[in-house]
A and B are shown apart, each in its own frame.
Chain A
Amino acid sequence: MIVGITARAAGTDAPVEQRFGRAPYFVFVDTETGKAESVENPLVDAAGGVGPRAVQMFSEHGATVVITGQVGGNAAKALEVGGIKAYAYRGSGSVADALAQYTAGNLQPLPLA
């Protein structure tokens, strides 16, 4: 399974970013192999409509779970239709920490509808 986490920088040591579509980086972690891929978000400075476009990037990377702070209405709709589950991480820890919390079952699902 691939989990996508919104981050302030590349790598699993980077702090988690609370904003979904405007996160500077997306870190995709394959939970089977433990491999992480960091992707710079080209939408940080985009004018608008960043949510649905970010969801497309998650979908392209095969992510079925996203960990972030909050998602807007359009992004939520796209995540729901795309079958991607979103979990809320409100701490100030790293990507690795967020992933550990998720694996431990400590994260709450973000309401998508």
Chain B
Amino acid sequence: MKIAIASGKGGTGKSTVAANLACTLSRSREVVLVDCDVEEPNLHLFFPATTVDVPVTTPVPEIDPARCTLCGECGKFCRFGALSVLKDRVLVFPELCHSCGGCSLVCPQGAVREVPRTVGRVACSRPLPALVLISGVLNEGEVQAPAVIRAAKLLAEGHPLTLYDASPGIACPVIETLEGSDACILVTESTPFGLHDLRLAAEVVERVGIPAGVVINRSDGKDEETLDFCRERGLPVIMTIPFSREIAAVQNRGGLIAALLPGWEERFVALFEAVVKIAGVSP
């Protein structure tokens, strides 16, 4: 079973929910937690451990000057501006390339060869006896987040229970993360902004066609608007984490409430059971 944890924007406590859930589940079974927030992975902060790193490469063009006639086709085709055909050479901007492969297709001379270029890495570790953490890390200044997410998810393949922590927002990295998930946990806060972002995120999961439930984080007890929205959309609210000093204190030092505060492990077990029900598959 694959569960994605997402939110319409950053700072809702999405990673905290993912980390607590992973920690809780690892007490009773093998769990793989995949950090798909490759531009700013942070789950390793909850689970420090030594890692094994696997580089992630994507194909980028290399031009053979002996064959190239400087016809200009590749530069006209590339809509990312990764190629400039000049008077005496083709200039490649590998960091702008999205590896669509189009330039090698349009080149009439067969002068474009694809060579691998490292855009990031996947860091694997086993911070707890039954928890494997796989973190995708996109190198600074790179654009190909989906490639790193795909690699991280691929390394997690074959495990019976996988949690994907998505990047905040609703752009293509999130869709890449949601792809193939059985259910999605949407983390939100009960503020007007939180509701706006929840609405956007709910639309994305609906479009990808994944059943979802909502976790309200840092609730001040006045969640009516969020609850109304969820009822309207048929989204079950599967957990409410109240705003409390005690919880904030644990989380501010990078601690997990499931491990440190009484009662929370049980609540995260219940969260998992609720997600299983939503997904409609056996765990």
**Residues 74 to 112 of chain B near chain A (Cβ within 8 Å):** 75-76, 78-87, 89, 91, 93, 96
CB distance from B231 to the nearest CB of A (A): 38
**CB-based contact B79/A78 at 8 Å:** no
Q: Which residues of B contact A49 (CB under 8 A)?
A: 78-82, 93, 96
Interface of B is mostly: loop
**CB-based contact B72/A56 at 8 Å:** yes
Known: A77-B91, A82-B91. A50 touches B81 (CB 8 A): yes
**CB-based contact B89/A74 at 8 Å:** no
**CB-based contact B84/A55 at 8 Å:** yes
Judge if A81 is at the interface, Cβ distance under 8 Å: yes
Bound form: Cα–Cα A26–B81 in Å: 18
Q: Which residues of B contact A113 (CB under 8 A)?
A: none
**Residues 16 to 61 of chain A near chain B (Cβ within 8 Å):** 46-53, 55-56, 59-60
Judge if A83 is at the interface, Cβ distance under 8 Å: yes
Q: Which residue of B lies closest to A73 (CB)?
A: B93
Partner of B84, one of A46, A47, A53, A83: A53
Bound form: Cα–Cα A83–B86 in Å: 9
Partner of B96, one of A46, A74, A81: A74
CB distance from B154 to the nearest CB of A (A): 27
Bound form: Cα–Cα A91–B84 in Å: 29
Bound form: Cα–Cα A41–B75 in Å: 15
**CB-based contact A51/B91 at 8 Å:** no
**CB-based contact B86/A74 at 8 Å:** no
Partner of A78, one of B72, B78, B86: B86
**CB-based contact B72/A52 at 8 Å:** no
**CB-based contact B79/A81 at 8 Å:** no
Bound form: Cα–Cα A49–B76 in Å: 12
Bound form: Cα–Cα A65–B75 in Å: 20
Contact string against B for A residues 57-82, beta-carbon threshold 8 Å, 1 for contact and 0 otherwise: 00110000000000000100110011
Bound form: Cα–Cα A62–B199 in Å: 52
**CB-based contact B93/A52 at 8 Å:** yes
**CB-based contact B81/A48 at 8 Å:** yes
**Residues 94 to 150 of chain B near chain A (Cβ within 8 Å):** 96
**CB-based contact A56/B79 at 8 Å:** no
**CB-based contact A52/B79 at 8 Å:** no
Bound form: Cα–Cα A64–B219 in Å: 63
Q: Which of B78, B81, B89, B91 has the most CB of A within 10 A?
A: B81
Q: Which residues of A contact B80 (CB under 8 A)?
A: 47-49
**CB-based contact B89/A52 at 8 Å:** no
Bound form: Cα–Cα A56–B83 in Å: 9
Q: Which residues of B contact A50 (CB under 8 A)?
A: 81
CB distance from A33 to the nearest CB of B (A): 21
Known: A52-B81, A82-B87, A83-B86. 7 other contacts (CB 8 A): A49-B96, A52-B93, A56-B75, A56-B86, A60-B85, A74-B81, A78-B91
Measured CB to CB, the residues of A under 8 A from B are: 46-53, 55-56, 59-60, 74, 77-78, 81-83
| Between-chain CB contacts (< 8 Å), 14 pairs | A46-B81, A47-B80, A49-B79, A49-B93, A49-B96, A51-B81, A52-B75, A52-B82, A52-B83, A55-B84, A56-B76, A74-B93, A74-B96, A81-B86
Measured CB to CB, the residues of B under 8 A from A are: 72, 75-76, 78-87, 89, 91, 93, 96
Query: Which 10 A-B pairs give the minimum distances between C-beta atoms?
Result: A49-B81, A82-B86, A52-B84, A78-B84, A52-B81, A49-B80, A56-B75, A53-B81, A56-B84, A59-B86
